[in-house]
Amino acid sequence: MALSIAYSPEVLEAKKHSHPIVALESTIISHGMPYPQNVETALEAEDILRRNGVTPATIAILKGVVKVGLTRDEIDYLGRQGLSVMKTSRRDLPYIILKGLDGATTVSATMFISALADIAVFATGGIGGVHRGAENSFDISADLEELAKTKVAVVCAGAKSILDLEKTMEVLETKAVPVVGYKTHILPAFYTSDSGLEVNYQLNHPQEIAQLMKNKWDLGLEGGVIIANPIPQEYELDSAIIHQAIEEALKEAKEQGVHGKETTPFLLQRIKTITGGNSLAANIKLFYNNCLLASLIAKEYQTLL
Ligand code: PSU
Ligand code: MN
């Protein structure tokens, strides 16, 4: 028997009326930002979606229950718990449920649960990818495998250059995951709009993006679509400063022997500290911008069903 999903009343209502829904991840709340900004940001992201006519579905595991749509109190709880909540990728789901634990879902687990819940669009900040030095460490995010398998479109601001973005693009090509640039032909690099790499295609209209998703899945192709939405120019960080912070964080991670699933949260936190509040402010702005675009795409996609 399939495991049951606990929907929030709001998401249940949206499903009943075929109202567009956008999924949100919870690792960004627990591991991506400090309290209380994480809770404020998660709540505001949901409100941006609501104001733009779609229903938010923040996804997490609470006491072993798969939740699609959280209450304000549940979001506040995850935000306060922070790093003590287990970072949960696809691999970890059976264990978290077995032990009745709280799990903050990464992009991979959030995509997987979104697909179970029949939600096609998911907004986040940045995705995981191929880590620098992966030729030795083999550290490649489960997010990429998920994008290869699971039919969800992920709106993000590209990926941070803590990763090897060139190798990340190569793996995505191998796995047939299209990377669409929204109003740009350049792959954004999270805090900056220019990674120096090209996306696969530029699309300028949410309607076209929705149609591309539909085409992919109508063809019977498995897997997701990445919609890379550059950080708005006014919030971009200075690339020399961010580059230096990333190099510094990578050096510290190496010195301290950080590895496995700890790597990404460690690097994110160090970058935040090294840049002062600047990286956090940019992170919040680009996430809101992704929520806005996700709402436009979700509404268009709904009209195609
Ligand atoms: N990159 C970011 N911010 C994040 C993450 C990645 O810029 O919060 C989180 C996401 O939840 C993503 C996860 O799915 O880290 C990837 O972790 P790993 O590299 O261990 O696969
Ligand atoms: Mn990893």
Q: Of 95, 119, 143, at which residue does a domain stop?
A: 119
Atom of ligand 1 nearest to the CA of 27: 11
- CATH at 197: 3.40.1790.10
Same domain, 68 and 128: no
Which of 130, 131, 143 is the best mutation target for the ligand 1 pocket, counting ligand atoms within 8 Å of the beta carbon and taking the most? Answer: 143
Residue-range definition of the domain harbouring residue 2: 1-119
* 53: alpha, beta or left? (left if phi > 0; alpha if psi -120 to 50): left
Closest of 277, 244, 226, 275 to residue 122, by C-alpha: 226
Cα separation, 227 vs 120, whole angstroms = 13
Same domain, 87 and 189: no
Same domain, 66 and 213: no
Tell me if 26 sits within 8 A of 83, measured CB to CB: no
Same domain, 154 and 281: yes
Same domain, 231 and 136: yes
Residue 81, SS3? helix
Query: Which residue's alpha carbon is nearest to atom 21 within ligand 1?
Result: 141
Atom of ligand 1 nearest to the CA of 32: 8
Same domain, 90 and 152: no
Same domain, 155 and 284: yes
178 ligand 1 Cβ < 6 A: no
Predicted confidence band of residue 2 (pLDDT cuts 50, 70, 90): low
Q: How many domains does the chain have?
A: 2
Q: Of 91, 119, 147, at which residue does a domain stop?
A: 119
Same domain, 157 and 259: yes
**253-273 pLDDT per residue, tens:** 999 999 999 999 999 999 999
Same domain, 195 and 291: yes
**205-233 pLDDT per residue, tens:** 999 999 999 999 999 999 999 999 999 99
CA angle 253-167-192, nearest 5°?
A: 70
125 ligand 1 Cβ < 6 A: yes
Q: Of 98, 119, 140, at which residue does a domain stop?
A: 119
**49-65 pLDDT per residue, tens:** 999 999 999 999 999 99
Same domain, 5 and 112: yes
Same domain, 32 and 107: yes
Average per-residue pLDDT for the chain: 97
